[in-house]
């Protein structure tokens, strides 16, 4: 876990899938005086414990872990309400945390967050499943060779499924790259993640529906399958912490045309047998997030959406100065 030693208002950064708290290292160092940055490794990532994920609880295992961390006496937060920042799946985790702990959060910043309806297998802003068994989502949808290379600690750039190449191609909008030293650090952090049926990507079940795979009950990718993840209750949260939603305009992972969504890949012809737009369209991830945040705003909540041009899935890395400007101004307004 990264944590600033100085006193100050706590700002807690929760990373996404296939990463760690160290992806926030430069942001923590750049926080202005008066704030204390904290960036833990989520369960199963970085230097955290190798505890399995009960996917049937959605993101609640991680939400519970976050509560245990923030209440730990060694952290010394006392009754302070933290500002929470969540990237990708981490965005879903902090929304779940706010729902599980009403009144405990000063603000939420959602960085390219996972849809409130999870990843894969839904077809409209309301999150209607394409099939009753949520086929097309869960652990079986992960690239098997990518998982194999994670397990083998492959730090090379030799294949499209090598973690290094996946990071540079999809975490960031090409041709952006971090420095060689930072790239090696990020890859080493990715390779620390736990791989297996109880971790990444999780188990699976077969389906009679396209693409013949449905969620299992264990592991990471099942935890954010729409069968188990539903954050629409966030719209009715009370009290309502202010929300800042930041995303990149060129995000290839969380978007309405995600290159990791089987509905979009099927439409491109990359997955055979696609049943068509009426049955299994690309998941409208941005539209789903906006629907929930619009409902939150309609109930009196404060929401700001910022879209960064020519930025991919990692605004805090690709456009750090722009992110910090937006974020620190937001903190000053809501503090």
Read off the pLDDT of residues 156-194 as tens digits, 9 standing for 90 and up: 999 999 999 999 999 999 999 999 999 999 999 999 999
Phi-psi region at 140: left, alpha or beta (left = phi > 0; alpha = psi -120 to 50): alpha
Q: Are 64 and 70 in contact, with CB atoms under 8 Å apart?
A: no
Query: How far apart (Å, rounded) are the C-alpha atoms in residues 136 and 140?
Result: 8
- Which residues pair with residue 107 across a beta bridge? 83
Q: Are 56 and 217 in contact, with CB atoms under 8 Å apart?
A: yes
Q: Are 207 and 133 in contact, with CB atoms under 8 Å apart?
A: yes
* Residue 77: predicted pLDDT: 83
Q: Is 16 helix (H, G, I), strand (E, B) or coil?
A: coil
Neighbouring C-beta atoms of residue 77, cutoff 10 Å: 17
Give yes or no for a cis peptide into 211 (omega within 30° of 0).
yes
Q: What is the DSSP letter of 81?
A: P
Q: Is 95 helix (H, G, I), strand (E, B) or coil?
A: helix
1: pLDDT strictly greater than 60: no
Domains of the chain: 2-128+229-334 (3.40.50.1820)
* Residue 80: predicted pLDDT: 87
Q: Are 38 and 13 in contact, with CB atoms under 8 Å apart?
A: yes
Neighbouring C-beta atoms of residue 273, cutoff 10 Å: 9
Q: Is 195 helix (H, G, I), strand (E, B) or coil?
A: strand
* Mean pLDDT value across residues 3-30: 92
Tens-place pLDDT, residues 85-99: 999 999 999 999 999
Q: Strand 107-111: give its sheet, edge to edge.
A: 2-3, 35-39, 9-14, 83-87, 107-111, 243-248, 303-308
Res. 139 pLDDT band, cuts 50 70 90: very high
* Residue 189: predicted pLDDT: 98
Q: Is 117 helix (H, G, I), strand (E, B) or coil?
A: coil
84: pLDDT strictly greater than 80: yes
Averaged confidence pLDDT in the chain: 96
Q: Are 218 and 202 in contact, with CB atoms under 8 Å apart?
A: yes
Neighbouring C-beta atoms of residue 111, cutoff 10 Å: 29
130: pLDDT strictly greater than 60: yes
* Mean pLDDT value across residues 107-111: 99
10: pLDDT strictly greater than 60: yes
């Amino acid at each position: 876990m990264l944590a600033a030693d100085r006193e100050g208002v706590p700002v807690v950064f929760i990373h996404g899938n296939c990463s760690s708290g160290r992806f926030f290292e430069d942001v923590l160092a750049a926080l202005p005086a008066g704030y204390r940055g904290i960036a833990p490794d989520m369960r199963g990532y970085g230097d955290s414990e190798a505890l399995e994920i009960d996917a049937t609880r959605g993101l609640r295992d991680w939400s519970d872990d976050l509560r245990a961390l923030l209440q730990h006496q060694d952290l010394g937060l006392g009754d302070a309400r933290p500002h929470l920042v969540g990237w990708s799946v981490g965005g879903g985790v902090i929304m779940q945390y706010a729902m599980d702990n009403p009144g405990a959060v000063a603000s939420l910043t959602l960085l390219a967050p996972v849809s409130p309806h999870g990843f894969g297998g839904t077809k409209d802003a309301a999150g209607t499943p394409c099939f009753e068994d949520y086929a097309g989502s869960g652990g079986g949808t992960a690239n098997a060779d990518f998982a194999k290379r994670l397990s083998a600690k492959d730090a090379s750039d030799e294949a499209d499924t090598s973690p290094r190449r996946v990071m540079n191609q999809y975490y960031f909008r090409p041709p952006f790259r971090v420095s060689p030293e930072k790239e090696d650090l990020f890859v080493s952090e990715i390779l620390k993640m736990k791989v297996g049926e109880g971790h990444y990507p999780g188990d699976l079940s077969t389906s009679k529906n396209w693409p013949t795979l449905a969620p299992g009950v264990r592991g990471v990718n099942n935890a954010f399958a729409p069968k188990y993840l539903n954050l629409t209750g966030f719209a009715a949260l009370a009290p309502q912490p202010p929300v800042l939603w930041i995303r990149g305009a060129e995000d290839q992972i969380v978007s309405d045309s995600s290159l990791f969504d089987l509905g979009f890949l099927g439409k491109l012809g990359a997955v055979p047998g696609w049943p068509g737009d009426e049955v299994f369209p690309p998941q409208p991830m941005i539209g789903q997030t906006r629907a929930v945040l619009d409902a939150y705003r309609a109930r009196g909540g404060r929401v700001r959406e910022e879209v960064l041009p020519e930025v991919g899935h990692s605004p805090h890395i690709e456009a750090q100065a722009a992110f910090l400007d937006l974020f620190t101004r937001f903190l000053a307004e809501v503090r």
